[in-house]
């Protein structure tokens, strides 16, 4: 994000004042005055299309008010060393070993209490303790450094157990921004406002990928130009042997592909020339196996990127585009504002720095085994689409796929992948409830819920765990809390087979009535009529954009033939 001046930021926020209605809750807890963090967080979320109510708890009431934020989506905790005790100088001059140990114990208990109160629901963004502002110019290391060290060790320990706790390397952010620019000692003296506005902006900017990941807005696709982006030089002028690969950047992109980022090329060149580079140049670290789609032509790049989104069945706002050309960068920025665009600098050091930045942009809270196989999965999806063109008859095509789905119930081994699905699935998602792994774990353990997973495979490959449904069971009534399918398995009638399997699971639990909701979002209109198509009748419109449906098990009908899909119950 480019940093606007503070008055400009206030103006932008004023112009985009939140309309009434559902907005995410975001909380800031702090033992210093965290001004103007609230505005900065709201700004960051609003430029990413997220509506949120951001509030700051009362000054220095972290433990007392934590419980008010256990239903928030994200909670940021600034627990500052500077203000742990009234007079930090006492730690330097007056403290005995016994005083120190008592203080350490007290803060540990408070931290534990605070995290307990916040519970398993919100993503807790917690700063590691830092002594930089206090002891950076001291030769002797005393109680303050020791306290910071021991509290951080304790935090590490807590983070092993608490899955929704993300620890922030506050020291790194302060140092990279500069000590002098980070702190505002004048304001600290006057009003305990420790950090400068530019620092807080930098802090939020640095953590943006972490926060977006919690809102299910993590980036998924990396679209790369070739000339002067993947290598130095223009292929059409210098030829296959004349270009020089940017190896550090290529290595980064290849590692992103291995972690599940969908890497595509978008270049104005002759396709056979680019193919030749990948075949002949053995010093290319980014290779064909990492690349899902190549759009190499002389057409305009905005159109090419639109095609990429359509072929992958992913939203434009999940795409990051890199190009060195001013023209292309501006064209894509203007015609596709939802695409995140970075301009590649004209020197290798700059390219390397940008590659690091890009690695951060694709930060993902939950990495799973599925991620590592994603490139292969998307590649087989592209092959499937090609096969589809050959088959004029859709039914014949679907039959030719040899589709198999396998269904699991309450399998804890899948919890991490379930959480990832819940956070990232946008299009085929009936209620879009964004659960964390800890939420999923507790529902799997609970008798009142059935957590059903779906894996899909066909003759082109294995799409892995692609579907999740959560059903709450009360007496004779089952209610579908969540149902979603990863977009990479759509268009194969898998959704109806999934529902059929779900009904099979429920039937065994003496259920007669089935309830289901549809909650409208900007992206899930394709499932707005999913329940009526299955024979549900509309019960009530609970709120604008939210409709409840009801059916008895006998009333269910299937709109399309799915007999060609084989089902295995795990």
Interface residue list for other proteins (CB under 8 A): 5-7, 10-11, 14, 33, 35-36, 186-187, 189-191, 193, 197
Q: Which is nearer to other proteins, 36 or 453 (CB)?
A: 36
Q: Which is nearer to other proteins, 41 or 263 (CB)?
A: 41
- Nearest-5° Cα angle at 308, 304 to 311: 130
Burial class (CB in 10 A: 0-12, 13-18, 19+), 229: buried
Nearest distance, CB of residue 184 and other proteins, angstroms: 9
Nearest distance, CB of residue 512 and other proteins, angstroms: 55
Nearest distance, CB of residue 193 and other proteins, angstroms: 6
- Name the token pair of 101: 């140990």
DSSP 8-class letter at 336: -
Contact yes or no for 426/432 (Cβ under 8 A)? yes
Q: Which is nearer to other proteins, 11 or 570 (CB)?
A: 11
Q: Which is nearer to other proteins, 10 or 409 (CB)?
A: 10
Nearest distance, CB of residue 318 and other proteins, angstroms: 34
Cα–Cα distance list, 212 to 18, 45, 217, 357 (Å) = 19, 8, 5, 15
Residue 19's closest CA among 46, 44, 37? 46
Give Cα 113 to chain centroid, integer Å: 28
Q: Which is nearer to other proteins, 55 or 255 (CB)?
A: 55
- Nearest-5° Cα angle at 449, 447 to 453: 120
* Residue partners of 456: CB distance under 8 A and separation at least 6: 403, 404, 405, 462, 463, 464, 466, 467, 489, 492, 494
Phi-psi label, residue 296: left if phi above 0, alpha if psi -120 to 50, beta otherwise: beta
Q: Which is nearer to other proteins, 190 or 372 (CB)?
A: 190
Q: Which is nearer to other proteins, 11 or 116 (CB)?
A: 11
Q: Which is nearer to other proteins, 189 or 282 (CB)?
A: 189
Q: Is residue 73 classed as helix, strand or coil in its secondary structure?
A: coil
Nearest distance, CB of residue 174 and other proteins, angstroms: 19
Q: Which is nearer to other proteins, 62 or 165 (CB)?
A: 62
Strands (E), 215-372: 221-224, 231-232, 244-245, 262-267, 291-296, 319-323, 340-343
Nearest distance, CB of residue 183 and other proteins, angstroms: 14
Spatial strand order of the sheet with 319-323 comes to: 291-296, 262-267, 221-224, 319-323, 340-343
Residues forming a β-bridge with 55: 27
| Cα separation of the two ends of the chain | 46
Nearest distance, CB of residue 190 and other proteins, angstroms: 5
Nearest distance, CB of residue 207 and other proteins, angstroms: 21
């Amino acid at each position: 994000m480019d940093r606007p001046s503070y008055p400009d930021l206030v103006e932008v926020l004023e112009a985009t004042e939140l309309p009434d209605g559902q907005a995410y809750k975001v909380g800031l807890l702090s033992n210093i005055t965290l001004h103007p963090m609230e505005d900065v967080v709201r700004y960051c979320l609003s430029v990413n299309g997220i509506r949120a109510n951001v509030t700051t708890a009362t000054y220095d009431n972290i433990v007392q008010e934590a419980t008010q934020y256990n239903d928030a989506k994200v909670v940021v905790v600034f627990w500052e060393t500077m203000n742990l005790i009234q007079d930090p100088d006492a730690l330097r001059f007056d403290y005995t070993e016994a005083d120190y140990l008592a203080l350490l114990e007290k803060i540990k208990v408070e931290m534990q209490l605070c995290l307990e109160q916040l519970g398993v629901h919100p993503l807790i963004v917690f700063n590691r303790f830092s002594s930089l502002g206090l002891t950076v110019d001291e030769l002797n290391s005393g109680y303050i450094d020791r306290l910071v060290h021991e509290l951080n060790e304790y935090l590490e320990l807590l983070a092993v157990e608490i899955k929704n706790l993300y620890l922030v390397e506050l020291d790194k952010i302060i140092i990279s921004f500069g000590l002098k620019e980070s702190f505002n000692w004048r304001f600290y003296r006057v009003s305990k406002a420790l950090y400068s506005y530019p620092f807080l902006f930098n802090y939020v900017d640095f953590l943006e990928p972490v926060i977006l990941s919690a809102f299910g807005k993590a980036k998924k696709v990396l679209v790369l130009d070739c000339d002067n982006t993947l290598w130095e030089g223009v292929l059409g002028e210098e030829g296959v042997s004349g270009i020089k690969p940017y190896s550090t950047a290529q290595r980064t992109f290849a590692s992103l592909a291995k972690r599940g980022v969908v890497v595509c090329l978008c270049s104005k060149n002759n396709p056979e020339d680019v193919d030749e580079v990948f075949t002949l140049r053995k010093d290319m670290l980014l290779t064909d196996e990492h690349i899902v789609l190549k759009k190499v032509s002389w057409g305009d790049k905005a159109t090419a990127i639109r095609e990429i989104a359509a072929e992958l069945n992913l939203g434009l706002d999940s795409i990051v585009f890199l190009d060195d050309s001013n023209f292309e960068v501006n064209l894509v920025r203007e015609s596709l504002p939802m695409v995140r665009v970075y301009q590649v600098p004209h020197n290798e050091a700059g390219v390397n720095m940008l590659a690091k930045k890009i690695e951060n942009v694709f930060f993902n809270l939950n990495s799973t085994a599925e991620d590592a196989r994603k490139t292969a999965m998307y590649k087989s999806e592209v092959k499937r689409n090609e096969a589809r063109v050959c088959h004029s008859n859709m039914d014949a095509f679907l039959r030719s796929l040899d589709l198999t789905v396998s269904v699991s119930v309450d399998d804890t081994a899948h919890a991490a992948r379930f959480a990832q699905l819940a956070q990232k699935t946008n299009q085929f998602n009936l209620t879009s409830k964004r659960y964390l792994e800890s939420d999923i774990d507790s529902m799997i353990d609970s008798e009142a819920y059935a957590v059903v997973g779906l894996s899909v495979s066909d003759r082109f490959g294995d799409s892995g765990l692609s579907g999740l449904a959560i059903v709450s069971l009360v007496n004779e009534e089952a209610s579908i809390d969540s149902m979603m399918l990863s977009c990479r398995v759509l268009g194969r009638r898998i959704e109806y087979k999934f529902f059929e399997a779900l009904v099979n699971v429920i039937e065994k639990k003496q259920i007669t009535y089935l309830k289901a909701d549809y909650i409208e979002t900007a992206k899930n209109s394709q499932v707005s009529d999913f329940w009526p198509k299955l024979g549900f009748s509309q019960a009530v419109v609970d709120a604008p954009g939210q409709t409840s449906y009801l059916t008895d098990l006998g009333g269910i009908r299937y709109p399309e033939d799915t007999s060609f899909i084989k089902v295995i119950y795990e």
